[in-house]
Structure 1
Amino acid sequence: MTGAPRTLNDACAWASTGTELLLDAVAGLDEDAFSAPSLLPDWTRRHLVAHVAANADALGNLVHWAATGEETPMYASAEERAAGIAKGPALSADELRSWLTASAHKLAAGLDGLTDEQRGREVVTAQGRTLPATELPWMRAREVCVHAVDLGTGVVTFADLPKGFLTALVAEIRAKRGLAELPDGPPAEVAAWLAGRPHSLAGAPALGPWL
């Protein structure tokens, strides 16, 4: 899978699409459905939704950093990140949906409000990587698109994600995993395999988790 390098506009569009897919996927979930397992080990859908909502809040800290120049880490500590995920089981379905929706919209508004100069400012991710704020929409696109699939509702699969997003995702994970070759198969299945998610590729070696 090859293609033109992703652009900022691409990443913004994918983040918006992924957010819509995710919000649509949780719209009809009742309390029992929220408590069901996600596709991620040891996480219910409550844990997953809380993680994505907390991620929007954390990325919002980096938007603030870019907008003001005031150093604002994604998370004050690893414990703070874990606490955000742990909040999930304690919240009702409506509370989780509200948090997910409000945090996503606040982040999108913050990203849209950055000037070109502010987008060029460097921030530091929770993993300690220094990058320009132009990368924040891509970081969010990965979260919402992949985790919309991880909900495991069957409403969203890798095949439902934008083709350009899948191309960019495959290129990034392939480079990070240092893979010289990829198995033959539909782009969506190759992306799922690279991301360590369930796939239909026959004979592809098992890969560890990603994201």
Structure 2
Amino acid sequence: MTGGARTPADARAWARAGTELLLDAAAGLDEAALHAPSTLPGWSRGHVVAHVAANADALGNLVHWAATGERTPMYASAEERAAGIAKGGTLSAGELRSWLTASADKLAAGLDGLTDEQWRREVVTAQGRTVAATELPWMRAREVCVHAVDLGTGVVAFADLPRGFLAALVEEIRGRRGLTGLPEGPLPEVAAWLAGRPHSLADAPVLGPWL
């Protein structure tokens, strides 16, 4: 299996590619389709879209932190994060798509505006991890790529995601889950299994959802 090494440039490219996949998948959804169930238990496709849009806003807070040095948490509270997801059940399809697009564009512009010094500044994630701002594109890449699949439209599958992204994702989740070995199978299916998503691997143990 391909190694999971990645660079900040890789992550920025994957974030852009994943954003395009997600926006394309969401663009064709009408009101009924956007509020139909996603592949995530208890979430409609609208909830997925709202979560990804709110994530862009939240990562934008960390971009502001890196750019100015002003401590700006991703979310003011767990309640704020939950409220962002809940909007997926109340906003219209047009409102959700507009939020998704505008938030993605604003985040991309913020990242593009960071200087070399600002990229090196440390920020704190919603999970309490202290990371350099160079990790922000990778955090975004995971969100847009995996959740593009979670929409469950049939337009995007793990096999459609960049191979380098999948290798890096496998390496990260394997480490987070503390796994020393992996089942044999195609890289996209191994990635889906590790992420707790539907897969075609035979006899692989059930894993809870990740991300």
| Common fold: TM-score over 0.5 | yes
Looking at structure 2, the residues matched to 177 and 28 of structure 1 have their Cα atoms a distance apart, in angstroms, of: 35
CA distance in 2, matches of 1:117, 1:97: 34
Q: Match for 1:79: what amino acid? A: E
2:138, 2:36 → 1: CA distance?
A: 29
Letter in 2 for 1:7: T
Partner of residue 55, structure 2: 55
Cα-Cα RMSD: 0.7
CA–CA distance in structure 2, aligned partners of residues 58 and 4 of structure 1:
26
Amino acid corresponding to residue 106 of structure 1 in structure 2: K
**Number of residues of Structure 1 aligned to a counterpart in Structure 2:** 211
Match of 1:158 in 2: 158
| 2:17 alignment partner in structure 1 | 17
Q: Distance in 2 between matches of 1:4 and 1:155?
A: 25
- 1:1-211 to structure 2, matched below 5 A, reads 1-3=1-3, 5-211=5-211
- Distance in 2 (CA, whole Å) between partners of 1:179 and 1:146 is 20
Normalised by the size of structure 2, how large is the TM-score? 0.99
Aligned residues of 2:3 and 2:171 also touching (Cα < 8 A): no
Classify the secondary structure of the residue corresponding to 2:171: helix
Which secondary structure state, in structure 2, belongs to the residue aligned with residue 95 of structure 1? helix
SS at match of 1:71: coil
CA contact (8 A) 1:53 1:104 kept: yes
Instruction: Give the residue type in structure 2 aligned to 1:199.
Output: H
- How far has the Cα of 1:94 moved from its partner? 0.6
State the Cα distance separating 1:2 from its structure 2 match.
Answer: 3.4
Aligned equivalents of 2:5, 2:183: Cα separation in 1: 22
Please list the CA deviations of residues 50-88 of structure 1 after superposition, one character each: whole Å capped at 9, or x if unmatched. Answer: 000000000000000000000000000011001111111
Given that 1:66 and 1:121 are in contact with CA atoms closer than 8 Å, whether structure 2 keeps it comes out as: yes
State the one-letter code of the partner of 1:6: R
Task: Return the letter of the residue paired with 2:61.
Answer: N
- 2: CA distance, partners of 1:4 / 1:14: 13
Contact 1:73 1:126 in 2 (8 A): yes
CA contact (8 A) 2:58 2:75 kept: yes
Q: Which residue identity lines up with residue 146 of structure 1 in the other structure?
A: V
**Runs of 5+ in structure 2 lacking a partner?**
none
What displacement does 1:5 show? 1.8
Distance in 2 of aligned mates of 1:124 and 1:156: 31
Structure 1 CA distance for aligned equivalents of residues 65 and 3 of structure 2: 32
Q: What percent identity do the matched residue pairs reach?
A: 82
8 Å Cα contact 1:2/1:171 also seen in 2: no
